Structure 1
Amino acid sequence: MDCHDDTSELEHYKDLALKLETVIEFSTDGIYVVDSNGVTVLVNRAYEEMTGYKKSDLVGKNVFDLTEKGYFDRSISKLVFKEKKQLSIVQKIGNEEKLGEKKEVVVTGSPVFDEHGDLSLIVISVSDITEISKMKRELTKAMETAELNSHRFAVHTEFEKNQTIVFRSPQMKQVYEKIQQVAPFPTSILLSGPSGVGKEMLTNLIHHFSDRKEKPLIKINCGAIPENLLESELFGYEKGSFTGARLEGKAGLLELADEGTIMLDEIGEMPLALQVKLLRVIQEKQVRRIGGNKTKDLDIRIISVTNKNLEELVKQGQFREDLYYRLNVVSIDVPPLAERPEDVRELLQYFFSYFSKKYHIQKEAAEETVRYLMSYHWPGNVRELRNMVENLIVSVSEKILEPYHLPFRITQVEQGTNEVTLKSMVQNYEKKIIMEALQKNNSLRQAAKELGIHHTTLVKKLQAWKM
């Protein structure tokens, strides 16, 4: 090959490289290329416009150093270097001073290998999904609003996984709307209601709707901790303040909840001596550790939770009146499940779906079973309903849950009445015994023999029950 041919081929590659650079430059996706050492070698115009960063800020700089300086919240290059394959992640990037916010982007890193199989380059493509994410959040909000307007609602909290509040009743809609109204303000809230209605989940919801959602939500059960320990848990202590204290001292939960929210569960169980100290903390907005003489400024929201009537406790002298009024700035009463039967069907549907997915078992309740459950008064409220559904899902082998699978306390109530009838009690008990026998034996004849009846009698009973 002569010199002229070499020159032509070189010119051809230069022209091709120029065209390729032009294509990259005018791509609507951001393009970011790093070499085998993680040094930025190319950034296109779309990336500049998307992030607010200039090429001069990035080219020649190592992506690991740029990540540490906050240019990206995490590095796709680091992951590709490690895995040696194409990977995608969601990042938050961008110059906040210039753009006003970080951009949410999908980043795909693709490794390029040389002829020896060694990693030569990583080509990173970046797609802006900020607006799509905003639209998704707005759509979710609109759907939730639509559900609320149609009197069925489910709200998910980010604080705890697998916590969903489901309701249809006007009483719970009123509770939810009140929470939405008061949550943004730092006022103290008193949540009252019987055990099992979901007061802790509503506390999570209040925190979730407040401007403190990124700050701590600390929970303490005032009735489950002995009085001497409760004081040290709440207020903390300095080193050597009492026998058994840590040498380095300990911060109390009130102190740890600074700028956030503290939930005082079973507040009615708090000893009077501690009520005085808590009142002082609320009034002075300061806390002092046991054995200490320094005070710390405190900015906390207090959510008190009780299943007792605090007004009655005040009259009986078991709860301080001044503390009661400090805690009861906003009062939210959560009604028992028996007073909102509209919610029972919604909760049953939700928990059957939830536990079926959780345990990878498809189960559903027969309509007659649902009617029994709707008639039951649920003294244990939502907690009892949830536990019962979970028990049915895991302990019953059949896919369709019939009334005879239900606990006796539920089936003893005749449909449409509040009276126990001997007929319904006997029939459900009979069904339960027969089904247990059928599950243990391989044939109707064997089951009938175990039951001590003729197999034709057993067949007639099953036919009458449409089983």
Structure 2
Amino acid sequence: MKQTIIDPHIWESIFSSIHNGVIVVDRNRKILLINSSAKKLLQIENENWEGKDIRELIPTTQLPHVLESGTSSIGVKMNIAGRQCLVNRTPLYRDGELVGAISVLQDISEMEHYHSLFKQMETIIEFSTDGIYVVDKEGKTLMVNSAYEEITGFRREELIGKHMENLVRQGYFDQSVSLLVLKEKKCISILQKIGGKKDVIVTGNPVFNKQGEIEMVVTSVRDISHLIKMKTELEKAKSFSKMSHNRYTFSIDGSDEKMIFLSDPMKRIIEKVKQIAPYPTSVLLTGPSGVGKEVIANLIHHLSSRKDKPFIKVNCGAIPEQLLESELFGYEKGAFTGARQDGKIGLLELADQGTIMLDEIGEMPLTLQVKLLRVLQEKQIQRIGSSKVKNLDIRIISATNQDLRKLISQGKFREDLYYRLQVVEIHIPPLAERPEDIEPLLDHYFSFYCKLYRMNKHLSPDTKNILKNYHWPGNVRELKNLIENMIVSVPSQSIEPHDLPLHIYEQTNSGASLTLKQRVEQFEKRMISEAIQKHSSLRKAAEQLGVDHSTLVKKLKKWNMSVRK
């Protein structure tokens, strides 16, 4: 029997080039060949083991079993020289006769280390707060992490294995940074819209091999929707700070003034306001000037779910026609000559998620009425000079002291817009039609302004009676302004009929029934009050009036008029 089955010198160069360790033994367990990789693995690089028994080198070897049984053993894990190895053992036959065996040793300790590192990296990527998206050199999706799924709403099963061109075509993205990186062969960052809804910033990084070719593209994805929202809110805040209060006002809580009333008509109005406030329907407030339409609008906003959102009030009659469109809709930079370089956010956009009150709606130009109608119908807004459309969620409260139906018949107001604004109409009657409210309003505003200006004054019974019987053509606004005027301008603590404007007490029963002597006395009181208020001393006031100082003092005592200097 021949002990040598192959010439070691012929095959030595071949076996030496193999990365795995190779050991060949003959039928008697003698080592015929051991390559460099095996020597390195067994740490015997400087020793000569040819011709020695394999059991001397590896006491735990199973090669003798292979020689005895003539069967292979594949993929057996063994600890050899302190390393985890995967061992394959195969019998060698020649002309049907078993002549030896070959053992292939694969060091798997490094493999397991790299596998562990891979698992760690996979875990790190999976738990990254940034979305991770990986494509191969062809542009096909290899992997995405959980953060990407959460940011985009896409499942990885939808994406993995799909080419980026197809995903863009199907509307998953508006553009692909991975394809740009594969084309430009450099790191690229872009803004990307996911599914036509969410804005993200994506950065694609190429991964090169040793030959300088792209192996894959790793893209990080960060949701910037909250940043865009913060930018919008900052724009709003800047716009609010620049608002001109003679044109429109801004409030959050909608509670600028209290509702003061006793009359049944106002009770019915308040009940209606409570009923409709929670719903986002458009409301049209009608009634003469000064009846409190703005106060009712405040109450509607305050009782709604929008009470913590902006409440914009626009006086359509106070803004020049040529400016009203840009004020309401805003504009992009360079939209027209004189436009601000950074553009401007419009009042309708500022009121998004809140309420906007369009006062004096009857003064709105027909061209703007068409645009406002489109806003109401489509719930969208477009700035002047912009191609972008923004969804809008606002409640519109409009107010007017005009007869809109009459304006419609005159061709000055669009009928379709009227019906859009008049989903709910609330008519606020003039003060003359609800006289029960006059006295509580007088008491409220008198107390309010006395406290505001730290004064201790009161209305005489005659004065109050005159004011209760006055018809108040300017309604609550006139009443409020008159009370403030009397408190700050009348020097005496008691406000008497002669302190009232002539047109008020002359139009009441009390004023009309005065005798000539009483009228003269009232006129005299007025002149004396004005003189005392104008001069620093009673003596100087008497000089202006052309009477003795003692005469002036007697008259003041007779009328019980006090003097505060």
Q: Shared topology, TM-score over 0.5?
A: yes
- Does residue 1:385 correspond to 2:454, yes or no? no
Query: What is aligned with 2:417?
Result: 323
Size of the alignment, in residue pairs? 310
Q: CA deviation at 1:376?
A: 1.3
Q: CA deviation at 1:283?
A: 0.8
C-alpha separation in 1, matches of 2:328 and 2:514: 49
3-state DSSP of counterpart to 1:185: coil
Query: What is aligned with 2:353?
Result: 259
Q: CA deviation at 1:447?
A: 4.8
Amino acid at match of 2:364: M
Q: Deviations over 1:218-263 (max 9, x none)?
A: 1111111122211111111122211111223222111121111111
Instruction: Say which of 388, 398, 402 aligns to 1:308.
Output: 402
Query: What is aligned with 2:496?
Result: 402
3-state DSSP of counterpart to 1:165: coil
1:222-233 residue pairs with structure 2 within 5 A? 222-233=316-327
Q: 8 Å contact 1:223–1:266 — kept in the other structure?
A: yes
C-alpha separation in 2, matches of 1:421 and 1:184: 57
C-alpha separation in 1, matches of 2:515 and 2:532: 26
Q: CA deviation at 1:396?
A: 1.6
Amino acid at match of 1:299: D
Q: Which has the higher helix share?
A: 1
Q: Structure 1 residues 265 and 418 mapped into 2: Cα distance closer, same or farther (>3 Å)?
A: farther
Query: What is aligned with 1:297?
Result: 391
Q: 8 Å contact 2:329–2:346 — kept in the other structure?
A: yes
3-state DSSP of counterpart to 1:190: strand
Amino acid at match of 2:291: V
TM-score by length of 1: 0.60
Amino acid at match of 2:486: L
Query: What is aligned with 1:281?
Result: 375
Query: What is aligned with 1:211?
Result: 305
Amino acid at match of 1:373: L
* Structure having the higher Rg: 2
1:163-178 residue pairs with structure 2 within 5 A? 163-178=257-272
C-alpha separation in 1, matches of 2:413 and 2:373: 12
- Does residue 1:367 correspond to 2:492, yes or no? no
Q: 8 Å contact 1:437–1:450 — kept in the other structure?
A: yes
Q: Structure 1 residues 443 and 239 mapped into 2: Cα distance closer, same or farther (>3 Å)?
A: closer
1:83-122 residue pairs with structure 2 within 5 A? none
Q: Structure 1 residues 433 and 327 mapped into 2: Cα distance closer, same or farther (>3 Å)?
A: same
C-alpha separation in 2, matches of 1:262 and 1:323: 16
Q: CA deviation at 1:384?
A: 1.3
Instruction: Say which of 465, 470, 474 aligns to 1:376.
Output: 470
Amino acid at match of 1:360: R
3-state DSSP of counterpart to 1:164: coil
Q: CA deviation at 1:394?
A: 1.3
Q: CA deviation at 1:426?
A: 3.5
Q: 8 Å contact 2:333–2:342 — kept in the other structure?
A: yes
Instruction: Say which of 322, 335, 338 aligns to 1:241.
Output: 335
The runs of 5 or more residues in structure 2 that have no matched partner are 1-250
3-state DSSP of counterpart to 2:259: strand
TM-score by length of 2: 0.50
Q: Structure 1 residues 419 and 378 mapped into 2: Cα distance closer, same or farther (>3 Å)?
A: farther
Q: Which moved more, 1:430-439 or 1:403-412?
A: 430-439
Q: CA deviation at 1:448?
A: 10
Please provide the CA RMSD for this pair. 3.0
Q: 8 Å contact 2:325–2:368 — kept in the other structure?
A: yes
3-state DSSP of counterpart to 1:167: coil
Q: Structure 1 residues 191 and 443 mapped into 2: Cα distance closer, same or farther (>3 Å)?
A: closer
Q: Which of the pair has the greater relative contact order for Cα pairs under 8 Å at 6+ separation?
A: 1
1:450-461 residue pairs with structure 2 within 5 A? 450=545
Q: Deviations over 1:257-298 (max 9, x none)?
A: 111111111100000011011111111111111111221111
Q: CA deviation at 1:423?
A: 6.1
3-state DSSP of counterpart to 2:323: helix
C-alpha separation in 2, matches of 1:442 and 1:457: 12
Q: 8 Å contact 1:212–1:261 — kept in the other structure?
A: yes
Q: 8 Å contact 2:252–2:310 — kept in the other structure?
A: no
C-alpha separation in 2, matches of 1:245 and 1:438: 54
3-state DSSP of counterpart to 2:385: coil
Query: What is aligned with 1:430?
Result: 524
Q: Structure 1 residues 424 and 413 mapped into 2: Cα distance closer, same or farther (>3 Å)?
A: farther
1:174-193 residue pairs with structure 2 within 5 A? 174-193=268-287
Identity %: 58
3-state DSSP of counterpart to 2:411: coil
